[in-house]
Chain A
Amino acid sequence: MAAAEKEAGGKSRLLKRGVGLLAMIPAGVIVFRFFTDGLGANPIATALNQLGLWTLILLLASLTCTPLKIVLGWKWPLKVRKMLGLCAFFYVCLHFAVYIGVDQFPPTVDEIYKDILKRKFITVGFFAFLLLIPLAITSSSKMVKRLGFTRWKRLHRLVYVAAAAGVVHFIWRVKADLFEPLIYAGVLALLLAIRLVAHLRDRRAGVAKPVS
Chain B
Amino acid sequence: MRHRRTSIGPTIPSREISPEPSYVARRQVMTGAAVFAAAGAVELGARRAFSATVPAPDLAALTYRKGPLGTDEAQTPLKDVTSYNNFYEFGTDKGDPGQTAHTLKVRPWTVTCEGEIGKPQVLDIDTLLKLFPLEERVYRLRCVEAWSMVIPWVGFPLASLIKKLEPTSKAKFLAFTTLHAPDQMPGQRRPVLDWPYVEGLRMDEGLHPLTLLAVGLYGKSLPNQCGAPLRLVVPWKYGYKSIKSIVKLRFVEKQPPTSWNLSAPNEYGFYSNVNPDVDHPRWSQARERRIGEFIRRKTLPFNGYADQVASLYAGMDLRANY
Chain A residues with a Cβ under 8 A of chain B: 4, 7-8, 11-12, 14-15, 18-19, 22-23, 25-26, 33, 38-42, 44-46, 50, 53, 57, 61, 76, 79-80, 102, 104-106, 114-115, 118-121, 172-177, 179-180
Given the interface pairs A26-B40, A105-B294, A177-B88, the reply to whether A119 lies near B29 with Cβ below 8 Å is: no
Collect the chain B residues with CB atoms within 8 Å of residue A22's CB. 32-33, 36
CB of B193 within 8 A of chain A? Answer: yes
Contact at B282–A119, with CB atoms within 8 Å? Answer: yes
Within the complex, which residue of B32, B83, B193, B264 is in contact with A41, where a contact is CB–CB below 8 Å?
B83
Chain B residues with a Cβ under 8 A of chain A: 19, 21-22, 24-25, 28-29, 31-33, 35-36, 39-40, 43, 46-47, 49-51, 79-80, 83-84, 88, 92, 94-95, 147, 190, 192-193, 263-264, 279, 281-284, 289, 291-292, 294-296
Collect the chain B residues with CB atoms within 8 Å of residue A53's CB. 43
Bound-complex Cα distance A46 to B190 (A): 24
Known A42-B94, A42-B291; 17 more pairs at CB < 8 Å: A15-B28, A18-B29, A22-B33, A26-B40, A33-B51, A38-B51, A39-B50, A40-B83, A41-B291, A42-B289, A102-B294, A104-B296, A105-B295, A176-B192, A176-B193, A177-B88, A179-B190
A85 vs chain B, min Cβ distance (A): 15
Contact at A176–B263, with CB atoms within 8 Å? Answer: yes
A-B contact pairs, 24 of them (CB 8 A): A4-B21, A11-B21, A11-B24, A12-B25, A19-B29, A22-B32, A22-B36, A38-B51, A40-B94, A40-B95, A41-B83, A41-B94, A42-B84, A42-B94, A42-B289, A42-B291, A61-B35, A76-B28, A102-B294, A105-B294, A105-B296, A114-B284, A119-B283, A176-B88
Given the interface pairs A22-B32, A40-B50, the reply to whether A118 lies near B284 with Cβ below 8 Å is: yes
Given the interface pairs A14-B25, A14-B29, A57-B43, the reply to whether A25 lies near B36 with Cβ below 8 Å is: yes
Collect the chain A residues with CB atoms within 8 Å of residue B22's CB. 11
Collect the chain A residues with CB atoms within 8 Å of residue B94's CB. 40-42
Bound-complex Cα distance A120 to B279 (A): 12
Contact at A80–B32, with CB atoms within 8 Å? Answer: yes
Contact at B21–A7, with CB atoms within 8 Å? Answer: yes
Collect the chain A residues with CB atoms within 8 Å of residue B46's CB. 180
Bound-complex Cα distance A91 to B35 (A): 18
The residue in chain A whose Cβ has the minimal distance to the Cβ of B77 is A41
B122 vs chain A, min Cβ distance (A): 31
Collect the chain B residues with CB atoms within 8 Å of residue A173's CB. 282
Bound-complex Cα distance A48 to B188 (A): 28
The residue in chain A whose Cβ has the minimal distance to the Cβ of B19 is A7
Bound-complex Cα distance A61 to B117 (A): 61
B260 vs chain A, min Cβ distance (A): 8
Within the complex, which residue of A46, A61, A177 is in contact with B92, where a contact is CB–CB below 8 Å?
A177
Collect the chain B residues with CB atoms within 8 Å of residue A39's CB. 50
Within the complex, which residue of A12, A23, A38, A121 is in contact with B282, where a contact is CB–CB below 8 Å?
A121
B39 vs chain A, min Cβ distance (A): 6
Collect the chain B residues with CB atoms within 8 Å of residue A4's CB. 21
Collect the chain B residues with CB atoms within 8 Å of residue A7's CB. 19, 21
A50 vs chain B, min Cβ distance (A): 8
- 5 nearest A-B residue pairs (beta carbon): A11-B25, A41-B84, A41-B80, A177-B92, A18-B29
Collect the chain A residues with CB atoms within 8 Å of residue B43's CB. 26, 53, 57
Collect the chain B residues with CB atoms within 8 Å of residue A119's CB. 279, 281-284
Bound-complex Cα distance A157 to B319 (A): 43
Contact at A8–B21, with CB atoms within 8 Å? Answer: yes
B142 vs chain A, min Cβ distance (A): 14
Collect the chain A residues with CB atoms within 8 Å of residue B32's CB. 15, 18-19, 22, 80
A118 vs chain B, min Cβ distance (A): 6
The residue in chain A whose Cβ has the minimal distance to the Cβ of B295 is A105
Bound-complex Cα distance A42 to B50 (A): 10
Contact at B40–A25, with CB atoms within 8 Å? Answer: yes
Bound-complex Cα distance A18 to B30 (A): 9
Bound-complex Cα distance A42 to B36 (A): 26
Contact at B88–A106, with CB atoms within 8 Å? Answer: no
Interface centre among B50, B281, B289, B295 (most CB of A within 10 A): B50
The residue in chain B whose Cβ has the minimal distance to the Cβ of A121 is B282
Collect the chain A residues with CB atoms within 8 Å of residue B21's CB. 4, 7-8, 11
Bound-complex Cα distance A44 to B31 (A): 33
A155 vs chain B, min Cβ distance (A): 27
The residue in chain A whose Cβ has the minimal distance to the Cβ of B146 is A45
Given the interface pairs A14-B25, A176-B92, the reply to whether A106 lies near B295 with Cβ below 8 Å is: yes
